[in-house]
Amino acid sequence: MSQKKTADGGGKKARLEREHLFRFKCYPGVSCFTQCCQDITIVLTPFDVLRLKNSLGISSDEFLEEYTIIIQKEKQLIPLVILKMNEEDKKCPFVTPEGCTVYHDRPWPCRMYPLDMNDDGTFSLIADASRCLGLKESDKWKISDWLSEQGIGPYEEMNELLSKITVPLNAKGLDITNPDITKMTLMALYNLDKFKDFVFKSTFLDRLEVEPERIEKVRNNDEDLLLFAFDWIKFGLLGKKVFGVKQKPSETTPSNI
């Protein structure tokens, strides 16, 4: 029988598997409550932005303008989109003394806390018990149960699909200097409202073959729209044949009469 480790947040960070246990409970009665939501860098994925802007009931444009900092690095097609902290106290704009106001749609890093995922798929505690008193609580969690309880599944699925774009793009080392391509990529991933207008209010669907059933899904569901954006980037930048190209009338073969 294998022995289960219990992480306590002390000493050298252990690499933990999904079956390992750790102690944690966060609630208003802990004196450090919400301190982990201050002066931190939270990188937002496209799925994070989708969930947050819908939770707030605002457009993608409004969310990006008011709540993010976009950092475009040289030779990096996909920018970093970072949650903007309050200027006066460096706290997350969505946190109050009572807790998170967007808890149901909080970003992936917030769901993972106090865990961090290592490159090899193992986990580590991101804090120690001297800073995060929740790690001194008696409640024990198996990592796999914690991930399920925090609703990590859909985020992991979207992150995996996003990696099918980011990893090949980084491997190709594309030196794209056309600012329009950079803008279009940012729009497709992070500004779904504009991307939706692009799909349905331009000649997009006149030029590409898309199943009618998928068009309706994309029209009515933001998650399907984001998946569609992933495929569009694969098609345009990675050369994946995920769409067919419609022939122009002049290119069609006349039928025999």
pLDDT for 177 equals: 64
Determine, yes or no, domain membership for 113: yes
Q: Are residues 180 and 141 in the same domain?
A: no
Counting the structural domains of the chain, the total is 2
Alpha carbon distances (Å) from 198 to 34, 47, 52, 60, 227: 40, 19, 22, 14, 15
Residue 92 sits in which domain range? 6-149
* pLDDT tens per residue across all 257 residues of the chain: 344 555 555 545 789 999 999 999 999 999 999 999 999 999 999 999 999 999 999 999 999 999 999 998 777 788 899 999 999 999 999 999 999 999 999 999 999 999 999 989 899 999 888 889 999 999 999 999 999 999 999 999 999 999 999 888 877 666 666 778 889 999 999 999 999 999 999 999 999 999 999 999 999 999 999 999 999 999 988 889 999 998 775 544 434 33
Is position 253 within any domain? no
Which one, of 157, 51, 164, lies nearest residue 100 by Cα? 51
Residue 190 lies in a domain: yes
Q: Do 10 and 70 share a domain, yes or no?
A: yes
Residue 154 domain-assigned? no
Task: Tell whether 15 and 135 lie within a shared domain.
Answer: yes
**pTM for the structure as a whole:** 0.88
For residue 9, give the nearest of 157, 127, 166, 112 by alpha carbon: 127
DSSP 8-state code for residue 38: B
* d(C-alpha 217, C-alpha 48), whole Å: 20
Quick check: is 164 in a domain? Answer: no
